[in-house]
Amino acid sequence: MMMSAPATGLAMDPIMPHSQVTGGMVGTAYTVVDSSGELKDFQVDIVGNMDNGKGSQPMIMAKASGPVIEQTGGILQGMSGSPVYVDGYLIGAVAAGIKGMTPYTFFITPIDEMTPLWSMPDRKNKTKLSTINIKRAAEKREQEAKEKKKQQEERAKAGDKKVYGDELLDRARAAVKADKDKGKEKPAAAKAGEKAAEKTAEPAKVAVETVKKEVTKTEKASKAAKAKKAKKDKPVKTALKSEPKDVMYFSGFNQAGLDFLKRQLDPQDSYTFLPMGAPTSAEMGRTVYNASLVPGAAVGVAVAYGDFAVGATGTVTAVDGDNILAFGHPFLHRGNVNYFMTDATVVGTISGQSNGMKVANIGNIIGRIKQDRATGISGTLGEFPSVVPIKVNVRDNSLARNVNYGARIAYDEDFLPQLSGGIAYAALSKTSDNLSGSTAKVGFKIRTDAVEKGVVSRDNMFYNTADVGQIAMAELIQAVSTICQNTDKESDIIDVQVNITVDDGRKTASIVSAVPDKKKVKPGDTVKFTTTIKPYRKSQETLIIPYTVPEAQPAGTLNLDIRGGGLTPVTSLMLLQQAGVDVTTEAESKLTTAAKLQKLEKAGRNNEIVIAPGAVQVPASKTAILQAKRDAARKSREKVSNLDKLGKQPATPGETKFTTSYIIDNVIHSTLTVERD
C-alpha cells in the first residue's frame, strides 16, 4: 500500500527511546522499493530489546510482514535506515538481518542511539579552498532582482513614497560607479546615503541574531528535557550475529580495479559489491543546492563521483531541518568523515534467501556526510565536501586510443591515496584492455600547498610481464599518501593530473659497456662515457654520456656505478607496503613532508642511466679529504652567477642522469684516477 511520509522533512519526528520499546508492540516501517519513488509501508512486530553486554550497542529485534515484504521476499540489502514507527513515535532504523536465518527477522538500531551523531565533533572539511560557484551566484542574483522588483511594484501600488535602505544603497552604488567612470571624487550625498542605509539595516540584523539565539536556547532546552525523561531497562542479552543490509556500488571500474579497491575499502568482506548504481550522464556533475529528503526516502553516500564512482545507497531514517540520519549501521565505519551525500533512484528489488537486495543508482550531489559511526551515518543538506578533482589521460599507441577520464574524490585522507591510484589504474586498464607484457610511461602533477612551489610532479617508465598497471601506480599512491600523512598540517590538494602512455611489448635494455674518454682526471673535469646498451630483441645502441667529477673528490681511485635509475624495485616495495610492513627508515621518518616529496621527485627513473660514485670506495687520507673540501669551497666562492641554474632542481654532486627510451635493468662498474694539483 502506498503511504505518505509520516511527518514533514522540516522537523524531527517525536521519538520513543529503546528503553520504552517492549515485545508485542506493533509498528510500521517506510521505504521505497521501486522506480516510482513512492514511500510504501510494511508491518513490524517487535520481539524485544537485545544486548550483547557492557559497552555494546543495544538493538531491537523485530519481524516484518505485509504485502510489500511478501513482494520483496523479506528485508533486503539497501533497506538499511528505513524508519520504524510505533504509535506515531520513531523508534529506530532497519539496520541488519540475522545471518543464516529468515530474511523476515531483523534488527532495529534505536533512534536514541543515532541522534547523538548530530552533536559529534566535526573536524573534517577544513581544507576547503575559497571558491565561487558562478552558476549558483548568477541564480541568486537573478532571484534577488526579481524579489526587489516585486517589492518596488507593491510599494508603488500602495502609494508608498518612502525611500528604503536597499534603495539608498542602490543609489549610492550607482553614484559611486558614475563618479568612477567620470574620474571624479565620490559626492557627499552618496556617502550620507550609505551611512543611512547601514543604520537602517542594523536593527534588522540585530533582530535576526536575537531570534537565532532564542531558537538555539529553545532547541537545547527541548533536547535536555527529552534526555532527562528517557529511562533505562535491562535488555535481554543475545549472541546472534547481525548482518548489515547494504550494498556498495562501483561504476567505471573493471574487475581488476574493483578487486584492488575492495581490499582497501572492505577488508572484512561485509558488503555486497555491484558494478552499477552510477549517476546518469544527465546527473553527472550536477549539484542540487536546495534538495529535501523525508524519512523513508532513498539516499546515497559516495567517496568518489564522476567517470568512476564509489558509494552506497540506503534509506533516510530521520530529518531535522537540513540534518539527516540514515542507514542504521556504518558505511565504512570511519568516524568523522567527509563524503558526498547524493539523492538516489531505486531501480527495483531482487529477492533472495540471504542476499536479496534493493538496487538503486546514486544521483545528484545534495550535501555532505559528516559522521560514519556504528549506529549509522549523519549529514547536512546544502553543505558540500571539499573535493580533489582527478583527471587521467591514457594514450595506447598500439591501439591508437586516446581517452580522457575525470572524477571528483571527497577530500578524506583515508581514501585519497587508494582512490587516486585505483582510478588511474582503472583508466589505464579500460583503455588498453591488456596490460600483460606492456610498457607504460606514467607522469603526474599534484597541485598542493604541501610544497613551497605548489606542485609535485614525477614521471617514470614501467614494464611488467603480468600487469604493468599494478606497479605503475605505486609512485602516485606514494606521493598522495605522503601529502595526506603530513604531520605538521592538513594539506590542501587542489587537483591531480595523470598522463599515461602505453606501448605493447617490452622496452627494456641492458648496459653492455661504458668506456671513458680519459682515465686520469681532475676535480671538475667532464668525462665522456661511450655507453653501449642492448635493447630487448633489438640491435645495440651507442650513447655519449658526460660525467663531471665532483669538486670535492679526493685524489685517488674513484669507483663509479653505471646503472638503471630505479634504486628500489617498485614491485618489492609494493609487496612490503601491502603486507603492512613499515619500509620507512629512521632517517626518512625525520624528514619533513616537503623533503620527502622532493626526494621522490629527484629519485632515479627506471628509464635513466645514472653514473654515480659506488658504495665501495678506496679510503682516502684525512689530509686529502680536507684539502679536497677546501679547494671545492674556494671554487664555489669564485662563481659569480647562478643564472644558469634558475628553474632547475639542484643536481647531486658527482651524479649524472641520462634519459633513454628504455627501462635499464642492470649495473656495471668503471674507475677513474683523480689527480689534484
pLDDT digits (tens, 9 = 90+) for 160-190: 655 555 555 565 556 555 655 555 444 443 4
> Is the predicted pLDDT of residue 425 greater than 80, yes or no?
yes
The last residue of one of the domains, among 462, 488, 504, is 504
Range of the domain at 629: 509-567+603-674
Q: 483 and 441 in one domain?
A: yes
Query: Does 252 reside within a domain?
Result: no
Query: Does 412 reside within a domain?
Result: yes
Q: 405 and 480 in one domain?
A: yes
Cα separation, 108 vs 317, whole angstroms: 11
**Kind of pairing between the strands at 272-274 and 247-251:** parallel
The last residue of one of the domains, among 450, 469, 504, is 504
Out of 124-138, 379-393, 396-410, pick the least confident.
124-138
What are the φ/ψ torsions at residue 458 (nearest 5 degrees)?
Answer: -165, 145
Residue 360 pLDDT class (50, 70, 90 cuts)? confident
Q: 543 and 430 in one domain?
A: no
Model pLDDT, residue 203: 37
SS3 label, residue 233: coil
Q: 528 and 438 in one domain?
A: no
What are the φ/ψ torsions at residue 25 (nearest 5 degrees)?
Answer: -65, 150
Instruction: Write out the H or E segment, with its range, that includes residue 626.
Output: helix 622-638
Q: 535 and 396 in one domain?
A: no
- Three-state secondary structure readout of 159-203: CCCCCCHHHHHHHHHHHHHHHHHHCCCCCHHHHHHHHHHHHHHHH
CA atoms within 13 A on the CB side of 654: 18
Query: Does 89 reside within a domain?
Result: no
Number of structural domains the chain divides into: 2
Query: Does 424 reside within a domain?
Result: yes
Mean pLDDT, the chain, as a whole number?
79
Query: Does 609 reside within a domain?
Result: yes
Model pLDDT, residue 187: 42
Query: Does 486 reside within a domain?
Result: yes
Q: What is the pLDDT of residues 611-665, one digit of tens each?
A: 999 876 656 566 656 665 666 566 555 554 444 444 445 567 789 999 999 999 9
CA atoms within 13 A on the CB side of 239: 0
Instruction: Write out the H or E segment, with its range, that includes residue 316.
Output: strand 309-320
Q: 548 and 427 in one domain?
A: no
Q: What is the pLDDT of residues 450-502, one digit of tens each?
A: 999 999 999 999 999 988 988 999 999 999 999 999 988 889 999 999 999 99
Q: 482 and 540 in one domain?
A: no
Terminus-to-terminus CA distance in the chain, angstroms? 100
Q: 643 and 545 in one domain?
A: yes
> Is the predicted pLDDT of residue 309 greater than 80, yes or no?
yes
Contact present, 342 and 110 (Cβ < 8 Å): no
Q: What is the pLDDT of residues 62-96, one digit of tens each?
A: 999 999 998 888 888 778 899 999 999 999 999 87
Model pLDDT, residue 311: 87
Cα separation, 134 vs 476, whole angstroms: 32
Residue written as grid cell 541574531 = 209
The last residue of one of the domains, among 504, 520, 549, is 504
Residue written as grid cell 607484457 = 437
Q: What is the DSSP letter of 395?
A: E
Q: 652 and 537 in one domain?
A: yes
Query: Does 361 reside within a domain?
Result: no
SS3 label, residue 523: coil
Q: 524 and 444 in one domain?
A: no
Query: Does 53 reside within a domain?
Result: no
Cα 345–chain centre separation: 24
Cα separation, 660 vs 531, whole angstroms: 12
E-state strands within 321-383: 323-326, 335-350, 357-373, 376-381
Model pLDDT, residue 415: 82
Model pLDDT, residue 341: 95
Residue written as grid cell 567517496 = 303
Q: 609 and 561 in one domain?
A: yes
> Is the predicted pLDDT of residue 268 greater than 80, yes or no?
no
SS3 label, residue 11: coil
What are the φ/ψ torsions at residue 590 (nearest 5 degrees)?
Answer: -90, -10
Q: 500 and 396 in one domain?
A: yes
